[in-house]
Amino acid sequence: MKNTITSSPVKLIPQVALAIPGVIKYGTILELPANMGTSMESKRGALIVADSNYEQARIDLRNATAARRLAIRKVRNHIRAVRELVKPMLTPNFSQAWEAFGFVGSLKVSTKVSSLLLALTRMGSHLEANPDLGADDPNLAATKTKALETLLVVANTTVNKRKGALQRSLEERAAKAEEVRYILRELSSALRLKLASLDSRWVEFGFNKVGAQPTPDAPTGVTAVLIGTNAISVKWPAAPRAEHYRGWKRVVGVDAEMVFVGSTSDLDLLMEELPSDSEVEVALSAVNNGGESVMSTVVVVKTSSGELPKTSNEMDA
Q: Across all residues in the chain, what is the average pLDDT?
A: 93
The answer to whether residue 113 is domain-embedded is yes
Domain assignment of residue 276, yes or no: yes
Q: What is the pTM of this model?
A: 0.71
| Domain identity same for 194 and 238 | no
> Model confidence over 109-124: pLDDT tens digits?
999 999 999 999 999 9
Give the domain CATH number at 292. Answer: 2.60.40.10
pLDDT at 306: 63
pLDDT (tens digit, 9 = 90+) per residue, 123-152?
Answer: 999 999 988 886 678 888 899 999 999 999
Give yes or no for residue 210 having a pLDDT over 60. Answer: yes
A 10 A CB-CB count for 138 gives 10
Residue 23 banded pLDDT, cuts 50, 70, 90:
very high
* Sign of CA pseudo-dihedral 123, 124, 130, 131: positive
Does residue 252 surpass a pLDDT of 80?
A: yes
Cα distance from N-terminal residue to C-terminal residue, the chain = 70
The whole-number pLDDT of residue 308 equals 45
310, part of any domain: no
Last residue of a domain, one of 212, 242, 257: 212
Overall average pLDDT of the 225-232 stretch: 94
pLDDT > 80? residue 315: no
Residue-wise pLDDT tens digits, 169-189 = 999 999 999 999 999 999 999
Same-domain status, 233 and 155: no
Residues 12-36, mean pLDDT to the nearest whole number: 96
- Which residues form the domain of 259? 223-302
The reply to whether 207 and 227 lie within a common domain is no
Choose one of 178, 212, 246: the last residue of a domain.
Answer: 212
Average pLDDT over residues 68-74: 98
Q: How many domains does the chain have?
A: 2
Q: Are residues 170 and 190 in the same domain?
A: yes
Same domain for 234 and 185, yes or no, is: no
Clarify whether residues 14 and 105 are in a common domain: yes
Interhelix angle 142-194/113-129, nearest 10 degrees: 160
Task: List strand residue ranges (DSSP E) for 159-215, in order.
Answer: none
Separation of alpha carbons 21 and 103, rounded Å = 68
- Is residue 38 located within the same domain as residue 82? yes
The CA distance from 229 to 303, in Å, is 6
Q: Name which of 45, 123, 48, 18 is nearest 81 in CA terms.
A: 123
Identify the CA nearest to 149 among candidates 250, 86, 72: 72
Q: Which of 47-56, 237-246, 276-285, 306-315 has the lowest mean pLDDT?
A: 306-315
Clarify whether residues 72 and 176 are in a common domain.
yes
Last residue of some domain: 212, 236, 257?
Answer: 212
- The secondary structure of residue 18, as a DSSP letter, is H
pLDDT of residue 52: 98
Q: Determine the residue type at 39.
A: S
Task: State the DSSP H helix or E strand holding residue 7, giving kind and residue range, or none if neither.
Answer: none
Q: Is the pLDDT of residue 312 over 90?
A: no
Cα–Cα dist 144/67, whole Å: 18
Residue 20 falls within a domain, yes or no? yes
pLDDT of residue 195: 95
Kindly report, residue by residue over 53-67, the tens digit of the pLDDT.
999 999 999 999 999
Domain shared by 237 and 260, yes or no: yes
Assigned domain for 307 exists: no
The pLDDT value recorded for residue 289 is 84
- Mean pLDDT confidence for 27-45: 95
Residues 91 and 202 in one domain: yes
pLDDT band (50, 70, 90) for residue 314: very low
Q: Is residue 13 part of a domain?
A: yes
- pLDDT score for 313: 46
Q: Are residue 240 and residue 208 in the same domain, yes or no?
A: no
Q: Flag whether 54 is in a domain.
A: yes
Residues 138 and 276 occupy one common structural domain: no
Q: Could you tell me if residue 315 is inside a domain?
A: no
In percent, the amount of the chain with pLDDT more than 90 equals: 85
**Alpha-carbon gap, residue 305 to 261, rounded angstroms:** 22
